[in-house]
Amino acid sequence: MVGTQDFAYALRRDLYAYFFDQYEGLPSTYDKIFQVENSDNATETWASGVGMGIPVSKPEGEPIKFHDPFEGWLATFTHAPYADGITVTHELAADSKKLVPFMKRQTGTWARGVSYMKEDLAYSVFSSTSNIYDATTFFSASHTNLVGTTYDNDNDTALTYTNLQAALIQFDNTNAYDERGNRIRLLANTLIVGPSLRYTAMNILKASMSPGDADNDINVLQGSLNLIVWPWITSATEWYIGDAKQGILFFNREGPSIDTWYDNDIKVWKASIYWRGCAGVTDWRYWLKGY
């Protein structure tokens, strides 16, 4: 005779297989934008890159020029748990003999749910009004480096051919300095929009001629950026340019894991799903917002 513990184990094993069969076939967007890492700790701390400075010319016989060390910003990420559960009464399971099919259907919805949860968490990094490591919001006109220079990655401009060119110049040139004030290499490779701006973005990036230009000038932006349409952006005007998988991190700490058991006291079958992780900003320079 198969006991409830044996059946719970067999059910959990089957649900795991069914879950990952469904989950791994689902499309995802966040992992094309974020650097995804696994974590073994309750929190993760990342230091903003300051570096040791850029070597300068040293005349023969002259001493080396030494720099004072710079202590960079620290970005701390704390993992948060996410979970859901379902119960099925003993009577319903016994009378309908549909416990396993029912649980499998629920597992299919969990696969979509975990996928959507990760997209929600990732987009919350872009939409958050909370301060990041430098005591400003991710997108702000008042980012200040460690030598006191202020920079802006928050543009109040609509997505147009001209405005996108200006944003790229700001990204690649104006903001391309590190915490020491040294020149660095920044080159945007990605444009992110919501569904409302899909066709505007496609027209800018894919047309062979300059959009809206009666002189038939070539489109200098054609193919210059990878277009990502992110359904989690519901704004009709919001857009972003950036260097994909730079400056933002997404951590998987635990799971997703499924558990099943029988609660003998109340005669109820229970199943749960659990995941723990977080996401955040390590360097604002790699992204710029328009709206």
**179-194 confidence digits (pLDDT tens):** 889 899 999 999 999 9
Q: Which residue has the higher pLDDT, 4 or 101?
A: 101
Q: What is the pLDDT of residue 10?
A: 73
Q: What tokens appear for 46 in the block? A: 């990342």
Query: 3-state SS string over 32-82?
Result: HHCEEEECCCCEEEEECCCCCCCCCCCCCCCCCCCCCCCCCCEEEEECEEE
CB 106 within 8 A of CB 262: no
Q: What is the pLDDT of residue 53?
A: 65
pLDDT tens digits, 205-241: 999 998 877 777 899 999 999 999 999 999 999 999 9
Q: What is the pLDDT of residue 120?
A: 98
Q: Which residue has the higher pLDDT, 79 or 74?
A: 79
Output the CA–CA distances (angstroms, integers) from residue 291 to 139, 193, 197, in the order listed: 11, 10, 11
Distance CA 96, CA 105 (A): 15
Q: What is the pLDDT of residue 3?
A: 46
Is pLDDT above 80 for 66? no
CB 93 within 8 A of CB 269: yes
Place of tokens 């405005």: 163
Q: What is the pLDDT of residue 71?
A: 65
- To 5 degrees, how large is the angle CA 39–CA 43–CA 47? 90
Is pLDDT above 60 for 2? no
